[in-house]
Amino acid sequence: WSFVSTGLAYDVFGSPRPNEYFTESRQGIPLITGRFDSLEQLDEFSRSF
């Protein structure tokens, strides 16, 4: 329980914290919608961090 409550679980597994899912600039859900340009969409999404 203390592993999760202190935030160490986020650091160890590399998952975003609850306040990092939606930022001021990105309020929508990041979905990959294109079949052939998925790599470009993923690069664009990762640059927004």
Is the pTM value of this prediction over 0.75? Answer: no
1-49 pLDDT, tens digit each: 677 677 788 888 877 777 777 677 767 766 778 788 888 888 887 776 6
Predicted local distance difference test score (pLDDT) of residue 49: 61
Q: In angstroms, what is the C-alpha Rg of the chain?
A: 14
Predicted local distance difference test score (pLDDT) of residue 1: 63
